[in-house]
Chain A
């Protein structure tokens, strides 16, 4: 298996893993793994080490909404200008250009539905390129970034099998 692929797959599933453990899992030296990770961090292959949190379990957690936006494009500026502008708001967690009947899809996070609704009304809908917005609040998250949040699956195996 390719070492870079191997390291990335290990880290993607467990960002807290020690370098020494990655060395043990891949049969390489500590230094080799450390240097490889430095390089992957340096060249931007590894963007960030992220934690998936089930905010439903936390008091005063967050409210999420998916916002669909239709935009009108000006001559000589494409989607990138408006997308870049929207991306700068910390409330906006993701920005994607979409196919279909709207153009840009956002994930917005706030402390309350009211806060999210006002943010969209005041900051997004008022942008000159934005024609219309539609806000869909997330009621419950079942799976996030490949992780099932209410996982109950476990199987019992016999302790010793030939």
Chain B
């Protein structure tokens, strides 16, 4: 016993770090520095928040309270409450004519982030490649790396309204490619993709036998046109793992509940990991989610209408200031360009924070092709947006 303790301490001494190579290979989040900076300053107006500024609608909160009063504090089945899965299956049948078996093809997760991690671990073998369209949410690339996969990013740009093209994806396909990962409506750009655009991606997936992971958490926040579920495309229901949840549509970020829909083999494999790691999503949140699906339409519509108004306010506002901003049709982000301002997005965001006390997120955080842009969330009150635009205008004038 004594001998082994000595061995361990000697080896610790030799090692540079106790953290695994895999985790070390992932750089710290680019957002962290701005978060710390914003926390130190007073009077900061934030357009840097990727969550609704609305509080969860009262009827949903009330159902949480009721669930607790009734003593519902136990585990649920690993897959999630059967009632919630049935409600989700009913929603997809009604809204998209898609049949998902609530017993085998739906898994309730603690938010989409957990679900994506499960999917990557369930699907990837070491060295398998995942094609990810950028700019993208900050977790995608690290999640692939943690699962032993290799992220292969493909750029999108303003010239194509930040839609990913089948051509770019096809160029990135190798023998090791297993997954295409997309997210429309998109964080950070607000871009959406129509049915025709998505069909071209589906063709590539079918031709090379790839699984598509489609994060559709912002689907309800589609302002112009209609959202198309990736799995509703011809032949894609078997080959798509679709993610959605309640955080954005019902302002339930902190309740941590989302879901994955897919074929039974993949959902089964994800459930296996989920049962040993998460066990189940919190029962209170799952019960709230049932109420959100049954009674949440009116409140959700009200929030969506308000986001749409702010979208007009903020995008027009940026264009007036001289920061060209394309018309994103979804999510709650504007993605103005800072081309011609003579500095990087990082510098712009840092100076804006220090000089004018406005927090935005530099686009490079979401991938190299986001470098000339800022992500500005309009999940903030109209007054905050107006004041932020005024301050950004002053800042641009001063450059």
Contacts and interface: CB of A to CB of B under 8 A. Distances in A.
A15 to B, nearest CB: 15
A43 B39 CA distance: 51
A27 B46 contact: no
13 contacts: A9-B305, A24-B312, A24-B313, A25-B310, A25-B382, A157-B49, A157-B53, A158-B49, A159-B48, A159-B359, A160-B35, A160-B38, A160-B46
A27 B305 contact: no
A159 B35 contact: yes
A80 interface: no
A17 to B, nearest CB: 9
Interface string B299-341: 0000001001110110011000000000000000000000000
A6 B309 CA distance: 9
A145 B44 CA distance: 33
Contacts of B365: 162
A23 to B, nearest CB: 9
A26 interface: yes
Contacts of B289: none
Interface in A25-50: 25-27
A162 B29 contact: yes
Given A1-B305, A27-B316, A155-B55, A160 B361 contact: yes
A4 interface: no
Given A9-B305, A160-B35, 8 more contacts: A6-B305, A25-B312, A25-B313, A159-B38, A160-B38, A161-B49, A162-B50, A162-B139
B166 interface: no
Nearest to A14: B382
B199 interface: no
Band of interface residues on A: 10 to 19
Interface residues of B, number: 30
A6 B317 CA distance: 20
A24 to B, nearest CB: 5
Contact of B51 (A25, A26, A161): A161
Contacts of A25: 309-310, 312-313, 382
A159 B42 CA distance: 11
A160 B358 CA distance: 11
B100 interface: no
Contact of A160 (B137, B139, B317, B359): B359
B34 interface: yes
A24 B308 CA distance: 11
B312 A161 contact: no
B31 interface: yes
Given A9-B305, A24-B316, A25-B313, A161 B38 contact: no
Contact of B49 (A6, A26, A160): A160
B138 interface: yes
Interface string A5-17: 0100110000000
Interface centre among A25, A158, A162 (most CB of B within 10 A): A162
Contacts of B305: 1, 6, 9
Contacts of A159: 35, 38-39, 44, 46, 48-49, 359
A26 B223 CA distance: 12
A9 B49 CA distance: 26
Nearest to A13: B306
A120 B391 CA distance: 56
Contact of A162 (B31, B46, B53): B31
A27 B312 contact: yes
Contacts of A155: 55
